[in-house]
Amino acid sequence: MSDTYVIGIDLGGTETKGALVDRNLKIMTNDVCATPAKAGPDVVIAEMGNMFDRLAKGRSIAAVGIGCPGPLSPSRGIVFNLPNMPGWKNVALRDRFAECVSRPVVIENDANAAAYGEYRGGGWDVDGDMVLLTLGTGVGSGTIINGRVFGGTFETASEWGHVIVQPDGPACGCGQRGCLEAYASANAVAERVRLAVNSGTESSLAENVRRGETITSRDVEKAMRGGDALAERVWDEACRYLGLACVAIQHAINPRYVLLGGGMSAAGAILVERVRRHYDGQRWHMFDDAPTIELARLGNTAGVIGAAALAWDLAARPQ
C-alpha cells in the first residue's frame, strides 16, 4: 500500500490546480491547466478528468478530493451555483467526477479545503482549532474545529468575509453592506483608493487612476511603504477591520490560530503585525489566552493539500 496515492484538485474560475499526494501529504507531482469556465460544467469536468489521467499515469489512486468555489453541499456532493462559471447550477460534481474517474470523490468549499490543508500540512500545533482568512479577490475563510472542517447545520458556516463590520458600509458582492470583504479584500483595498482619488483625494497613485490603469493591493502596499497618506489610511482601515473580525472569531470559535493567507498576505509583517495590534486594542482582555494571529504557510498549495487530506480521510472510511 506504500505506493498508493490520492489526487487533490483545486478548481478555480481561472485555473485548476492538481497534485498527486502521498500519505504524508507530500506533493509528488503537480499539474495546472486553464479552467474552461465559460464552456460549462461538462467541459470543465472532462478537463479535470484529463488532469486526473496525467497525474495518475497508471498509479494506484485511492480517492480524489476537490476544493471548489461555493455555495455547495459536501454531504450531497452538489455545487449549487457558481456565479463566475456559466451553467453551474445544482451540478452533482462529486458523483459525476466519481463516474468519470472510477474512484471515490469528496468535494469541499475551496476555502475550507485550504484551511484543512494548513491544519494538516502546514506544520502547526494541531492541538487546537484554526481559522483561515484568505485575502484575495474576496475574503475567503475556513474553520477547523476538533480536527474537522466546520460547515454548520446547513454546510455554509465560516463565511467570515461576510460578517458585517460596519452597518450601512460599502455594498458587497453578496448583496449585504459593510461586510469584512468590502473593506479588507485585496480588491476592496485597491477599489477604496481608486474611489478616494476620483473624489479628489491626493495620492501617489492618482495619475495611475486617472489614466484608467488597474491598481492592485500590491500597488497600495508599495505606496504606503513610500509614505502615501491615502494608501496608509486605506491599508490601516483594512487591518483594523480584520482585527475586529478576529475579535468576533475569538468569541465565536476561540481558536488557537487565526491565519492570514491569499494575495495580500505577501505583504508579510506590515499586514500581520497591524492586524495583531488592532485586534489587541479591541479584544476582551479578561483572559490571557487568545488566538495567535499568523501568516499562512502553504501559499497556493493549501487548496490541493487540503483536498488531498480530505481524500485520504475518505479512503480510510469503509466504502
Q: Residue 158 belongs to a domain with what CATH number?
A: 3.30.420.40
Task: Assess whether 174 and 231 both reside in one domain.
Answer: yes
Both 92 and 177 in a single domain? no
Convert the pLDDT of each residue in 202-243 to its tens digit: 999 999 999 999 999 999 999 999 999 999 999 999 999 999
The dihedrals phi and psi of 158, each to the nearest 5 degrees, come to: 75, 25
> 3-state class of 319 per DSSP?
coil
Distance of CA 95 to the CA centre of its chain: 24
Same domain, 204 and 95: no
Specify whether 283 is located in the same domain as 172: yes
Identify whether residues 11 and 90 lie together within a single domain.
yes
Q: In the prediction, which pLDDT does 287 show?
A: 81
Specify whether 200 is located in the same domain as 249.
yes
Torsion sign, CA atoms 140, 143, 148, 149:
negative
For residue 270, pLDDT beyond 60? yes
pLDDT of res. 1: 47
| Same-domain pairing of 233 and 308 | no
Q: What is the pLDDT of residues 111-145, one digit of tens each?
A: 999 999 999 999 998 889 999 999 998 999 999 99
Residue 272 and residue 309 share a domain: no
Q: Does residue 120 sit in helix, strand or coil?
A: helix
Q: Are residues 235 and 96 in the same domain?
A: no
From 191, 190, 187, 186, select the one nearest 264 (Cα to Cα): 186
Count: domains in the chain = 2
| Same domain flag for 166 and 283 | yes
> Could you give the CA distance from residue 76 to residue 19 in angstroms, rounded to a whole number?
24
Output the pLDDT for position 83. 79
> Do 271 and 144 share a structural domain?
yes
> Once rounded to an integer, what is the mean pLDDT over residues 21-25?
98
CA separation, residue 257 to residues 159, 164, 293 (Å): 17, 22, 6
CB 223 within 8 A of CB 189: no
CA–CA dist 83, 88 (Å, integer):
8
The verdict on whether omega for the bond into residue 71 sits within 30 degrees of 0, i.e. cis, is yes
138 and 113 housed in the same domain: no
- Encode pLDDT of 144-187 as tens digits: 999 999 999 999 999 999 999 999 999 998 899 999 999 999 99
**For residue 15, what are the domain limits?**
4-117+300-316
What count of other Cβ atoms lies within 10 Å of the Cβ of residue 78?
17
61-115 per-position pLDDT tens digit: 999 999 999 899 999 999 999 878 999 999 999 999 999 999 999 999 999 999 9
Helices (H), the chain: 41-56, 93-101, 110-121, 181-184, 186-198, 206-210, 217-225, 229-252, 269-282, 302-316
- pLDDT bin (cut points 50, 70, 90) of residue 2 is low
